[in-house]
Amino acid sequence: MDEGVLRSLFGLDGKVALVTGGGRGLGRSMALALAQAGSELALVSRTEAELKEVSDEVGALDHERKIITIVADLADFAQIPRVVEKVIGEFGRIDILVNNAGRNIRNPAENFSIEDWDAVININLKAAFLMAQTVGRVMIRQGKGKIINIASLTSFIALPNMVAYCASRGGVQQMTKALAVEWAKYGIQVNAIAPGYFLTRQTEPLFQDPKKREWILSKIPMGRIGDLKKDLAGVVIFLASPASDYMTGQTIIVDGGWMAD
């Protein structure tokens, strides 16, 4: 396969990608991958300093790559239309949504408060749906688009002290299927990525505990955690690109083999 064919399948030149939770961790990693594949970027995060760091990284890769940053807390649902309107105002379109913003609160189920439940469900599931719905309306008018929801191993398995997180990520997987079925007729593909363990601010405390780190690594046949610099790049580019045009409603697990063992 020659370079031109590969570029037509996997290249994202001229595409506009909106990445929520794009200031750090998985979101930052996927945003950089999309930029390297040619996409213009709109990044959303609650923290302006983190957005600036990612913007500077993208600028170092390509000074001509257009990138905008939007400070927003998507748990305040009223901000979601504002975010989408700003992206449309700057670019005129949205080709790719990476629905990544999320959080986790760990507590035993018997002690899990209503406030903590709502905090997790509201950002991981409700805000994810509202963002997909708002961007989906844009994509319906366009007649095409790619929505990439971020699920988790806990879309498939349960882990202790994570009842709200497990519920929310299971919901993301089912939401992905439902949207895929409804919106296929509009030329929109809706898929999900279910990452295993990567070293992020959210998971760092686990890896600082030798026993927890040993237990996690014992579950991964590859014997290592995911590398943010490379292990999500290929799958997010694939799902954002024409190479995945005949694929929808699927969840791709990126976990070093955990779910296969």
The residues annotated with a catalytic role in the active site are 165
Residue 80 has which token pair? 């979601």
Nearest CA-CA partner of 83 in 42, 116, 54, 124: 42
**Residue appearing with tokens 């005949």:** 246
CB 233 within 8 A of CB 131: no
In terms of Cβ atoms closer than 10 Å to its own Cβ (0-12, 13-18, 19+), residue 75 is middle
Query: Distance between alpha carbon 162 and the CA centroid of its chain, in Å?
Result: 19
Alpha helices in 65-155 (DSSP H): 79-91, 114-121, 127-142
Q: How many helices (H) and strands (E) does the chain have?
A: 10, 7
CB 44 within 8 A of CB 52: no
Residue 70 has which token pair? 């939007």
